[in-house]
Chains A and B, each alone.
Chain A
Amino acid sequence: MSMNREGRPTAPAATGGGKPPTFTGNRALQIEEPLLFETGSLEKTGVDLPEPAKHESRLGGLERQGGTGLAGLTEPQTMRHYVRLSQKNYAIDTGFYPLGSCTMKHNPRLNEVMARLPGFGDVHPLQPERTVQGALALMDMLSHWLLELTGMAGVALSPKAGAHGELCGMAAIKAAHDAKGEKRSTVLVPESAHGTNPATAALLGYKVTSIPARDNGTVSVDAMRAALSGEVAGIMLTNPNTCGLFEPDIVEIAEAVHDAGAYFYCDGANFNAIVGRARPGDLGVDCMHINLHKTFSTPHGGGGPGSGPVVFSEAILPYAPVPFVKRNGEGLSLVEHEGDAGDAKPFGRQSAFHGQMGMFVRTMAYMLSHGSDGMRQASEDAVLNANYLRARLRDVMTQPFGDQICMHEVLFDDTFLTDSGVTTLDFAKALIDEGFHPMTVYFPLVAHGAMLVEPTESETKEALDQFIAVLRDLAKAAKAGDAERFTGAPRYAPRARLDETRAAREPRLRWTPETQAEAAE
């Protein structure tokens, strides 16, 4: 060990392969944190609430008997518990998060501040309309921007997330067929689709027919024509698709669908690639949901909340659900009941109240900040970044559908790992050790050992160059036979690989005093 003259070490000692365990299991900044129920207690609380005034109970003899079992923490304990837990998460703000199909772009904090203005955050959905004119104006403004960007006829803001939007759009399509007295049984879904698409169609009682991709990863108009018939209610096509490719025959596909009396549902999960460059309305789309939490950067929050407004063509719009905002003389009002919808025939209601207002405000802040020029530039940069990764990695990684220009994400498969003893999962876990969030793995299903990389427009060229260097090094190591680097990964994360089989086989979905006793043994 090198030391200075006072005997103080000037460089850390090499730790070798194994690190000695610590008494606590902690590793300096990585601190083990027990469950709330193991540190809290029934007596503790982190709030100071006054003594209730004396009152006669009107609970009708239904008073809760005994304790709830809910552990409480004081405020300083709460702060430390959840801050420590947060430190076990990877996040956009801490590093590059190229999770394909998920659009992990920068989340501006202005948007958070705007959503928390009391005039938005502290307003009840059932307040009299004249006390919420600003909220309705914001919804109206958001609708206008979404319709300008998509070239569609109208919008339903209420769906709560992408899959909820799919259900909205497909229910409207079903209602449109019903109105014509047509019973159609089938929905066509390309095999590269998100799992939500077939699940949505099935929820509405449709049979799902899978359409294979052709060799270049896109859907051919001939394959679509062959599957179309009088039994087909619609198609659910993602564009750009989940392989990161723009469907080049989309206009012809839309025409073929309409010729067959069916409708075109577009999964808008990847709309972020084409904002300001193309409008779904011009492509022949009848409905499309827009994931505000992807394209317009409302935070993902560890799994939501999302927001999935649906835009409609003239043909489907009359069947859009309640509620919606309408102009009413000088002001704005909400149409909350099917009976108040005039000539329209809404298919019903999908949720209580009016949608994810908090996400609408964040989206509006994002849109106003970017403007028309900035949103177009954002799409261009997202596509530029994905293609840059593709161009710099194409000689060491493999693409299932050949090397072609992609949109906002680039798809690799595991051909380059053949005979290396390294799987896509191993490869992803090794990326964790290098300080990156892995790409989406094993999706889409049409590629073997898929790795879907979506860099987004938020990353600098330097960040991309570093990521490229890491992927090149990993690919080289895999080919060189250093499988152990991968199969043992991650080594430096708060946890090594977790046993998912055990979790599913013996589900333990909550804490109980018994499990605590077991853990102590």
Chain B
Amino acid sequence: MRYLPHTSGDRAAMLSAIGVGSMDDLFADIPEAVRLKEPPDLPRHAGEQEVERQLSALANRNVAASSTPFFIGCGAYKHHVPATVDHLIQRSEFLTAYTPYQPEIAQGTLQVLFEFQTQVALLTGMEMANASMYDGSTGCGEAVLMAHRLTRRSKAILSGGLHPHYRAVVETLSRMSGAEAVARGARPEEAGSSDIAAAIDEDTSCVVVQNPDFFGRLRDLTELAEAAHAKGALLIVVVTEVVSLGAVQPPGSMGADIVVAEGQSIGNGLNFGGPYVGLFATRQKFTRQMPGRVCGETVDADGRRGFVLTLSTREQHIRREKATSNICTNSGLCALAFTIHLSLLGDAGLKRLAALNHASAVALADALSSISGVEILTSTFFNEFTIRVPGDASDVIDALVEKGVLGGVPVSRLLPGSHKDLIVVAATEANRAEDREAYVKALREVLA
């Protein structure tokens, strides 16, 4: 087996040095009755070529986003990732290193994390950020728990525009941990946030709101932040499309206390849902209640600048059952991809990328609105919006697949039993004019 270096001579010599007669002797602590006598009933080892064939055959049964006009979003987005990013994250020294427990020989990873934290803070308009969460949705759950700790209250109010998976994560975590999560109904047509503000009471620890929301709508959250703060509650803002922050006012400038975002759009592929990277940013005064790893600047014994993991007295390996979270491994390599891509973009590139996305979505919305029976429900949006179609949206999406177009997500897939005629449609810089034309043509035919 190509990965295992010992010869049978090596094994014999080592068993002899250990002072045992056979490999079985090393496993003598496993009770006799439960020892496996034979290897499990699975195929024997295989060469590279054979493995490639088997896995490629499976991969070929999937439709890749780049192979077709593609308009699916809802929390994960098709963007171009520069070749440099994937090359650099496959550098052995990044790819095959562990969490930086020995900082003297992990300054590469640590400096990247420091850069990552800075970028996340700048992007979200917040004061500081941690070294990543698993993804946006789990970060959202952690943000709610953090708000409970900070306010010593235990009720979260979830906006109806919050991604249904994020909402489910918070509801699950709340149910399991004895906290309360009150979700508002999802109403694609609603405007304004005054009804959420009215629901905030003395038991409310936080309000969770997504911007742009699940339906694509953009909103000024300033008044909601003020309403939350007036009642001693925190505002948690979720961003599932971080590219929007190149064009849209960041949550930090609207009064957010915690910002959680899905960072996949920058540097990371679609990967059928993971691995992705959660961004988690907050105010400086809340730093010590943050979950997860944090990298900080310091100096070495010779006075040179260096970086270490810090504030670990919040964490499970020190605090055990009193930790702020149980998170250990996070999304280091995806954070690296994010940081490299964002370095390549810079302020100028990010703004341009965001403008391209917005232009692409505006062009698509205008084109789709010309189709008889199609209604655009979202008047303010970034690169994603909701349309109403005559009939069942799932059937429409299936019929579009027949025509080679992946046309969006039927809302009923995420909110079963409701909004059966709605489709959330995303457009990015990856869509060309001919992709939009193909979509319009196909949808026109499907609805005819």
Contacts and interface: CB of A to CB of B under 8 A. Distances in A.
Given A361-B55, A369-B51, A163 B311 contact: no
A85 B274 contact: no
Question: Considering residues A68, A385, A390, which has the most beta carbons from chain B within 10 angstroms of its beta carbon?
Answer: A68
Contacts of A108: 3
Interface residues of B, number: 210
Given A300-B96, A304-B334, 10 more contacts: A60-B220, A62-B220, A78-B344, A113-B52, A119-B56, A119-B60, A121-B270, A353-B76, A387-B14, A499-B299
B326 A119 contact: no
A171 B141 CA distance: 15
A127 B406 contact: yes
B48 A369 contact: yes
Given A70-B350, A384-B14, A405 B29 contact: yes
Interface string B1-45: 111111000110111011110010111111101111001111111
Nearest to B75: A352
A280 B148 CA distance: 37
Contacts of B287: 507, 509
A50 to B, nearest CB: 7
B4 A510 contact: no
Contacts of B74: 126
Contact of B36 (A25, A43, A277, A356): A277
A53 B42 CA distance: 56
B54 A161 contact: no
Given A58-B380, A89-B106, A121-B269, A33 B135 contact: no
A519 B344 contact: no
Given A88-B107, A124-B76, A493-B105, A304 B362 contact: no
A305 interface: yes
Given A204-B176, A461-B6, A498-B308, A511 B299 contact: no
Contacts of A97: 98
A94 B93 contact: yes
A384 B19 CA distance: 11
Contacts of A9: none
B391 interface: no
B439 interface: no
Interface string B290-307: 000111111111101111
Given A117-B55, A392-B17, A370 B102 contact: no
A347 B172 contact: yes
A44 interface: yes
Contact of A107 (B40, B61, B96, B380): B96
A326 interface: no
A358 B36 contact: no
A279 to B, nearest CB: 7
Interface in A109-129: 110, 112-128
B136 interface: yes
Interface string A33-48: 1011100111111110
Contacts of B54: 368
A36 B33 CA distance: 59
23 contacts: A52-B358, A78-B88, A78-B340, A94-B93, A112-B90, A120-B59, A160-B138, A174-B176, A204-B176, A299-B95, A300-B329, A301-B333, A305-B334, A352-B75, A352-B262, A364-B55, A370-B1, A381-B4, A387-B18, A387-B26, A392-B17, A496-B300, A509-B296
A402 B44 CA distance: 38
B381 A67 contact: no
A301 B92 CA distance: 9
B347 A69 contact: yes
Interface string B308-352: 101111011111111101111111111010011011111111111
Given A64-B246, A355-B274, A384-B14, A509 B43 contact: no
Given A89-B106, A123-B62, A68 B51 contact: no
A470 interface: no
Given A62-B380, A365-B51, A358 B271 contact: yes
Contacts of A205: 176-178
A213 interface: no
A148 B42 CA distance: 8
B326 A339 contact: no
Contact of A352 (B136, B272, B316, B345): B136
Contact of A353 (B96, B113, B274): B274
Interface stretch (A133-141, A256-264, A413-421, A474-482): A133-141
Question: Considering residues A166, A304, A497, which has the most beta carbons from chain B within 10 angstroms of its beta carbon?
Answer: A304
A124 B65 contact: yes
B387 interface: no
Interface stretch (A192-200, A219-227, A309-317): A192-200
B107 A276 contact: no
Contacts of B18: 384, 387-388, 390-391
Pairs A-B, 9 closest by C-beta atoms: A72-B346, A119-B59, A301-B333, A348-B172, A353-B273, A134-B61, A60-B380, A303-B332, A125-B273
Contact of B247 (A59, A78, A166, A348): A59
B275 A358 contact: yes
A227 B230 CA distance: 48
B104 A277 contact: no
A397 interface: no
A11 interface: no
Contact of A384 (B11, B311, B401, B406): B11
A392 B25 CA distance: 18
Contact of B326 (A133, A196, A282): A196
Nearest to A102: B98
Interface string A499-510: 110111001111
Contacts of A381: 4, 6, 11
A405 B20 contact: yes
Contacts of B31: 248, 250-251
A429 B298 CA distance: 18
Nearest to B140: A352
Contact of B316 (A46, A199, A302): A199
Contacts of B61: 119, 133-134, 137
